[in-house]
Amino acid sequence: MTDWQGKSAADLGRAIAQGALDPVDLTGACLDAIRAHPDRTRIYARLTEDRAMAEAGAARARARAGQRLSPLDGVPISWKDLFDSAGAATEAGSRLLAGRLPGADAAVLAAATAQGLVCLGKTHMTELAFSGLGLNPMTATPPNALDPARAPGGSSSGAAASVAFGLAPAAIGSDTGGSVRVPAAWNGLVGLKTTSGRLPLTGVVPLCARFDTVGPLTRSVEDAALLLAAMDGRKPADLRGVSLKGARLLILDTVAFDDIRPEPLAGFEDAVARLTDAGAIVTRAAMPALTEAFALSGILFTSEAYGTWKSTIESAPEKMYPPIRDRFRAGAGHSAADFVAAWHRLDAIRALWADWAAPHDAVILPTVANLAPDTARLLADPAYFTAENLLALRNTRIGNLMGLCALTLPTSRPMAGIMFLGRPFGEEHLLRLGAAAETALA
């Protein structure tokens, strides 16, 4: 088999449908490539080889009988190691959960399997998904595909690496504050953050359940649309005939450009010029209430995260990387009354955002304000780790705070993405817009 590593999941699915590609051969080639890769153990926490080959064999039989279940039937993908998989350990990147063996698949994994997708295995991640850098000295830190000396982005670090290194046609990650979009941007991929509640979290190891979402990391917008459909059982977004002519895009002038580094800014500005040339109508505006939402985020995220994991963490705190452990413990100082009041205020700010953004097809901004930082310096300098982590998650967190769906696309500059913020549960519209933008940015 040649050149499968350079093809999108959708192209592989079409090749299977045409009889030009055998799912068993494809899955075997994927597993061979993983086993041969020098960083395999830094990218994959474990493979599910027997399951993968059995699922590929079933997909082969369906293809030969003309009974394929979906456009991606027979296509293998990777899963972040916080999605439960029956009979295979799910440890969420943490020594605290070592040996955790679920008895059933997560709902989204079960749904994707029912659509014929093949499970290759589980990818490494930040401990309990609570960092945007992807650094995990307690289990493994995957390499950045664009610069091995830099952090991969997190918390879906292995998910991004599996796709960017050609060790999976696509991957499924999770996004609580940017954990799909940051590693997608830093590894030159497409990343979709779904709206909270769009996909079920049953069988997904939680971080902050009110912010946690599931999303794909892919080579194309089409792949993201097909994977979303596979996980929620709906028809995929219709990407035919997409165009940016007359699309109304609003550049967010609040917070998103504070302390931005030159490279992400240049990538964004070049992308905006290309979108404008393709017919988009681009305007700029501030949303002052967003600053207040950011002031609430420390209460909202850390309180829920620590409340969820306090007893587990404090039973063996030495099993955690100190900067991650300390980030959890920051939630200990907030009262229940402050947490409830913060949510009431955030709901009011979300309503203000909805009115402010309503006339536009999407709000756009740089996906991440910094490039992937140097891994060695992150390990040596805790203050640098904290500062770079906060900056990495700053822009992506807007989508989580406002309860939106969001899509990141690569720009002309390495590690610099452009992010489109859509309406809650507006994934199909956002994906159509993203497909048109992908063409303009190519």
3-state secondary structure of 363: strand
pLDDT in tens, 41-97: 999 999 999 999 999 999 999 999 999 999 999 999 999 999 999 999 999 999 999
pLDDT of residue 3 exceeding 90, the answer is no
Which position among 80, 131, 157, 196 bears the catalytic label? 80
pLDDT in tens, 329-373: 999 999 999 999 999 999 999 999 999 999 999 999 999 999 999
Angstrom distance (rounded) from CA 157 to CA 147? 14
Is 179 a known active-site residue?
yes
| Closest listed residue to residue 163, CA positions, set 44, 314, 71, 1 | 44
Return the pLDDT at 249: 99
pTM: 0.98
The CA-to-CA distance between both ends of the chain, in Å, stands at 27
pLDDT band at 4 (very low <50, low <70, confident <90, very high): confident
pLDDT in tens, 192-227: 999 999 999 999 999 999 999 999 999 999 999 999
* Buried/exposed code over 5-27 (b: 16+ C-beta within 10 A; e: otherwise): eebbbbbbbebbeeeebbbbebb
Write the Ramachandran bin of 382: left for phi over 0, alpha for psi from -120 to 50, otherwise beta.
alpha
Which position among 174, 179, 220, 303 bears the catalytic label? 179
DSSP sequence for 110-165: HHHHHTT-EEEEEE--SGGG--SS---TTS--PPPSS-TTB---SSSHHHHHHHHT
Answer for the pair 178, 123: CB distance below 8 angstroms, yes or no: no
State the chain's mean pLDDT as an integer.
Answer: 98
Which position among 78, 94, 131, 155 bears the catalytic label? 155
In which residue are the tokens 């079933």 written? 58
pLDDT in tens, 271-316: 999 999 999 999 999 999 999 999 999 999 999 999 999 999 999 9
pLDDT of residue 2 exceeding 70, the answer is no
Which domains occur in the chain, in start order? Answer: 4-232 (3.90.1300.10), 248-290+332-441 (3.90.1300.10)
Is 155 a known active-site residue?
yes
Q: What share of the chain is helix, strand, coil (3-state, %, to 5)?
A: 45, 15, 40
Angstrom distance (rounded) from CA 46 to CA 80? 10
Mean pLDDT of the 130-157 span: 98
What is the DSSP code (8-state) at residue 343? Answer: H
Angstrom distance (rounded) from CA 110 to CA 343? 32
Report residue 375 as tokens. Answer: 């891994």
Is 80 a known active-site residue?
yes
pLDDT of residue 9 exceeding 80, the answer is yes
pLDDT of residue 1 exceeding 60, the answer is no
Instruction: Count the neighbouring beta carbons within 10 Å of the beta carbon of residue 406.
Output: 31
pLDDT of residue 171 exceeding 70, the answer is yes
Angstrom distance (rounded) from CA 99 to CA 402? 36
CA-to-CA separations, 203 to 107, 180, 285, in angstroms, rounded: 6, 18, 40
pLDDT in tens, 387-412: 999 999 999 999 999 999 999 999 99
Angstrom distance (rounded) from CA 322 to CA 360? 43
| Closest listed residue to residue 183, CA positions, set 142, 122, 136, 213 | 142
pLDDT of residue 162 exceeding 80, the answer is yes
